[in-house]
Amino acid sequence: MGDKAIRVRLGIMMFLQFFIWGAWYVTLGTYLSQTLNFDPAQIGRSYSAIPWGAVIAPFIVGMIADRFFAAQKVMAFLHLTGGVILMYASTVTDPSLMFWVLLVYAVCYNPTLGLANAISFGKLNDPEKQFPAIRVCGTVGWIVAGLLVGFMKVEAQHVPIQIAGGSSLLLGMLSLFLPDTPPKSLGHKVTVADVLGLETLKLMKNRSFAVFVSGSLLICIPLAFYYNFANMFLNDVGVVNAAGKMTLGQMSEFIFMIIMPFFFARLGVKKMLLLGMLCWVVRYVFFALGNAESMVWMFYGGILLHGICYDFFFVTGQIYVDNTAPKAIQAQAQGFIAFITYGVGMVIGANLSGEAVKYFTVEEIINWRAVWLFPAILSGVILLLFAAVFKEGETVGER
């Protein structure tokens, strides 16, 4: 198989990988609220299944997939299983059952994110130059999913979940035709410490790294408000085709990913992290103060800030970890940060966001201004603490 043919297959894989996620995840809250009449706390718990999957997923890849099976075969099995689960999820109406069904799905889906990267890196001749073009296909997939759901006007229906389920079944079948990627840890004993990246804990002796980890955990708590309730909020206040408009965030992410080196060279890690945090505060303030009549630009502004919010914090954080951790444990360190942020932080945030929205709901009317001011204040406090703990002139991300 030629190099170009391999890259085409990898691009299709990455497109579907994120098309699946973007098709159902963004609009889930709207569907659960408007159609199934879940209360906000139940919606928050349903969303918490996804980060719980991120907590459990490393054990599947690290202790099973990496040791016994080729990555593309594990990918096929997980997506085929996940597709069936999503189809079933589209028929579930009980809040408790919905959480458990989504948790099982999350355990299937989360490992495929790492597997998709592993398959790509394993077959590219020049990963540093070639992988960005493969990965951007995932961003395009997410955008197309949002535009499709918005165009079909099915945000409050079970259809997006079925679209994701069908796409997962398709990717499961296509995965069998991906390049062979043998288990990388065949014959080697993999421990729990390896999977969780516990060697990374030794880096906590470095004051800057400890502050970075703590700040990353804390900031992911208010972040969950956007991921879980933004689509529901925009639909509730009368924004037409909210799912389609929210894809502007991914378009912004794509643009800022391209120009990140310009800012990185001039601002450095610490200032970029702080700027990323600040933009989360501004985004929530925009949502709190905007309205669909005269101040709708604030909604668009909050969505477009996603590029800075995500790239300047998460991507910069990944670069920081790569610069800080010794080469022998760089992969473990990245896994540890993902566990702390996408796992622990988002689990706490998903449940807190649901309880907060429920608290600010009176007679089924949500006080969205109060809802968004809550994470804005929380993000602001975390930002100030993160900035204050560094001594004047102290740098972050330099060995």
Please determine, for residue 323, whether its predicted confidence score (pLDDT) is greater than 80.
no
Tokens at 99, concatenated: 């959480």
Which pLDDT does position 198 carry in this prediction? 67
Same-domain check for residues 201 and 313 = yes
Average pLDDT over residues 87-95: 97
Which pLDDT does position 188 carry in this prediction? 57
Which pLDDT does position 127 carry in this prediction? 67
pLDDT category, 397, cuts 50, 70, 90?
very low
Same-domain check for residues 152 and 238 = no
Please determine, for residue 394, whether its predicted confidence score (pLDDT) is greater than 60.
no
**DSSP codes of every residue in 339-371:** IIIIIIIHHHHHHHHHHHHHHTEETTEE-HHHH
Tokens at 385, concatenated: 């603490």
Tokens at 368, concatenated: 């969205």
CATH code (residue 60): 1.20.1250.20
Same-domain check for residues 204 and 245 = yes
pLDDT category, 390, cuts 50, 70, 90?
low
Same-domain check for residues 77 and 126 = yes
Mean pLDDT check: name the lowest of 73-87, 272-286, 301-315.
301-315
Which pLDDT does position 18 carry in this prediction? 94
Average pLDDT over residues 264-293: 87
Same-domain check for residues 175 and 299 = no
pLDDT digits (tens, 9 = 90+) for 279-308: 999 999 999 998 877 788 899 999 999 888
pLDDT category, 310, cuts 50, 70, 90?
confident
Which tops the pLDDT comparison, 185 or 136?
Answer: 136
pLDDT category, 195, cuts 50, 70, 90?
low
Mean pLDDT check: name the lowest of 36-50, 58-72, 96-110, 295-309.
58-72
pLDDT category, 66, cuts 50, 70, 90?
low
Which pLDDT does position 31 carry in this prediction? 96
Please determine, for residue 241, whether its predicted confidence score (pLDDT) is greater than 70.
yes
Mean pLDDT check: name the lowest of 184-198, 239-253, 338-352.
184-198
Q: Indicate the residue type of 244.
A: G
Tokens at 171, concatenated: 């990717």
Average pLDDT of the chain, as a whole number: 85
Shortest CA distance to 320 belongs to which of 388, 278, 260?
260
Which pLDDT does position 216 carry in this prediction? 86
Please, are residues 132 and 124 in contact by the beta-carbon 8 Å criterion?
A: no
Please determine, for residue 396, whether its predicted confidence score (pLDDT) is greater than 70.
no
Same-domain check for residues 291 and 338 = yes
Same-domain check for residues 134 and 215 = no
Q: What is the dihedral of CA 375, 234, 348, 270, to 10 degrees?
A: -50
Please determine, for residue 325, whether its predicted confidence score (pLDDT) is greater than 80.
no
Tokens at 61, concatenated: 């890849």
Last residue in a domain, options 155, 188, 221: 188
Please determine, for residue 392, whether its predicted confidence score (pLDDT) is greater than 50.
no
Same-domain check for residues 329 and 272 = yes
Please, are residues 171 and 13 in contact by the beta-carbon 8 Å criterion?
A: yes
For residue 328, what is the DSSP state?
G
Please determine, for residue 398, whether its predicted confidence score (pLDDT) is greater than 50.
no
Same-domain check for residues 68 and 122 = yes
Please determine, for residue 104, whether its predicted confidence score (pLDDT) is greater than 70.
yes
Please, are residues 222 and 379 in contact by the beta-carbon 8 Å criterion?
A: yes
Burial class (CB in 10 A: 0-12, 13-18, 19+), 183: middle
Same-domain check for residues 2 and 36 = yes
Rounded-to-integer distance, Cα 130 and Cα 363, Å: 54
pLDDT category, 111, cuts 50, 70, 90?
confident
Last residue in a domain, options 188, 208, 241: 188
Please, are residues 258 and 378 in contact by the beta-carbon 8 Å criterion?
A: no
Share of the chain above pLDDT 90, in %: 46
pLDDT category, 158, cuts 50, 70, 90?
very high
Same-domain check for residues 130 and 261 = no
Average pLDDT over residues 147-168: 95
pLDDT category, 60, cuts 50, 70, 90?
low
Rounded-to-integer distance, Cα 54 and Cα 102, Å: 12
Same-domain check for residues 382 and 264 = yes
Mean pLDDT check: name the lowest of 2-16, 124-138, 343-357.
124-138
Which pLDDT does position 190 carry in this prediction? 61
Shortest CA distance to 315 belongs to which of 75, 139, 109?
139
Domain extent at residue 7 = 1-188
Which tops the pLDDT comparison, 70 or 44?
Answer: 44
Domain count along the chain: 2
pLDDT category, 316, cuts 50, 70, 90?
confident
Question: What is the total residue count of the chain?
Answer: 399
Mean pLDDT check: name the lowest of 38-47, 242-251, 385-394.
385-394
